[in-house]
């Protein structure tokens, strides 16, 4: 068995999981460049996959813009922030203050519950990556898929999706 076989097997299994449980993410965010990086990750990898409900909250116009061929480069950049080229557990993330994704560095914090206007809440053991919370985790071979309650990419990247509008068009 070669070193790259476990990653190839993980990729196939992860693609199946994404297609079944994270269909919108799978359709819009699974970029060729990200999979190339994951194929080189012989020890496994991590995907931060926003749920279908997270995409529904973005709205139909944003989803349409992500799928627009003219936005391919921006969608690719957004996608790369959802891939980590090492397997990273929720506990490992909780112990760190940031994580390097294929797209760049993202901040990590603990989620809190209770409180009033952000004050007085108690840490509840949850993990937030760039403001998005891990809802569930799935182990697939040597790799991990963390279900997120929203996309983790920097807010700034969403602005580029609006650049395609021609004044007076919808």
98 touches 105 (CB < 8 A)? yes
Question: Reduced to 3 states, what is the DSSP secondary structure of residue 99?
Answer: strand
- Is residue 111 domain-resident? no
Q: What share of the chain is helix, strand, coil (3-state, %, to 5)?
A: 45, 25, 30
Q: What is the mean pLDDT of residues 149-153?
A: 95
Confidence of residue 122 (pLDDT cuts 50, 70, 90): very low
- Structure confidence at residue 24 (pLDDT): 92
The string of pLDDT tens digits covering residues 53-86 is 999 999 998 999 888 888 888 999 999 999 999 9
**Is residue 86 situated within a structural domain?**
yes
The one-character DSSP state at 102 is: S
What DSSP string describes 1-51?
A: --TTHHHHHHHHHHHHHHHHH-HHHHHHH--HHHHHHHHT-TT--EEEEE-
On whether residue 97 sits in a domain, the answer given is no
Q: 165: pLDDT confidence band, cut at 50, 70 and 90?
A: low
Q: Summarize pLDDT for 5-59 with one digit per residue, the tens.
A: 556 677 889 989 999 999 999 888 766 777 777 877 788 999 999 999 999 999 9
Q: What is the CATH number of the domain that holds 28?
A: 2.30.180
Residue 74 falls within a domain, yes or no? yes
pLDDT digits (tens, 9 = 90+) for 90-109: 999 988 989 999 999 999 98
Assess if residue 12 is contained within a domain: yes
The verdict on residue 118 lying in a domain is no
Q: What domain range includes position 38?
A: 5-90+132-164
How many domains is the chain partitioned into structurally? 1
């Amino acid at each position: 068995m070669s070193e790259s076989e476990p990653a190839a097997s993980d990729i196939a299994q992860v693609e199946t999981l994404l297609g079944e449980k994270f269909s919108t993410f799978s359709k819009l965010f699974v970029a060729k460049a990200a999979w190339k990086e994951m194929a080189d990750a012989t020890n496994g990898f991590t995907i931060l996959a926003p749920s279908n409900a997270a995409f529904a909250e973005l709205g139909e116009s944003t989803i349409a813009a992500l799928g627009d061929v003219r936005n391919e480069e921006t969608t690719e950049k957004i996608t790369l922030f959802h891939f980590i080229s090492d397997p990273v557990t929720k506990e490992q993330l909780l112990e760190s203050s940031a994580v390097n994704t294929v797209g760049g560095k993202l901040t990590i914090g603990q989620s809190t519950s209770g409180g009033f206007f952000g004050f007085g809440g108690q840490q509840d053991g949850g993990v937030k990556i760039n403001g998005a919370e891990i809802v569930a985790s799935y182990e697939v071979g040597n790799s991990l898929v963390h279900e997120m309650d929203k996309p983790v990419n920097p807010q700034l990247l969403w602005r580029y999706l609006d650049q395609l509008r021609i004044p007076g068009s919808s």
